Amino acid sequence: MPTPSRADVLQGTLDLLILKTLAQEPLHGYAIAQRINESSRALLQIPQGSLYPALHRLEARGWLSAQWVDSDTGRRAKVYRLTARGRTELDREIADWKLLTRAITLVLDA
């Protein structure tokens, strides 16, 4: 079986990746996908068909806020920002992720 050139995002991890990315600075959707790609050294690529529904879901939960701004190119872009509730959720999700990966490592090493 050939090794994939990039990893698929595990179900349920996209929210964590978005929250973590926006904890650094507010960004528009395309920039979020680019930042995740760069941070993962091109191992993770987030398709737009997954990214934008996730952004809307996180905004509806109150974890993100969004504002339309004029970009340098003159086009309007929706910029997403992590809210206080989103930061709390990010902390919880990081703790959950670390516990899960620790448990999986224990099973794999057994």
Q: Where are the domains of the chain?
A: 14-109
Output the six-digit token pair for 95: 């703790």
Residue 86: count other Cβ atoms within 10 Å of its Cβ: 23
Query: Does the pLDDT at position 4 exceed 50?
Result: no
Q: Which residues contact 35 (CB under 8 A, 6 or more apart)?
A: 21, 24, 27
Angle 17-19-65 (CA atoms, 0-180°, nearest 5)? Answer: 140
For residue 11, give the H/E element and its range. Answer: none
Q: What is the DSSP letter of 40?
A: T
Output the six-digit token pair for 14: 């996209």
The pLDDT score that the predictor gives to residue 9 is 67
What's the fold here for domain 14-109? Arc Repressor Mutant, subunit A (1.10.10)
Can you give the pTM of this predicted structure?
0.88
Output the six-digit token pair for 84: 């206080």
pLDDT, one tens digit per residue, over 54-85 is 999 999 999 999 999 998 888 999 999 999 99
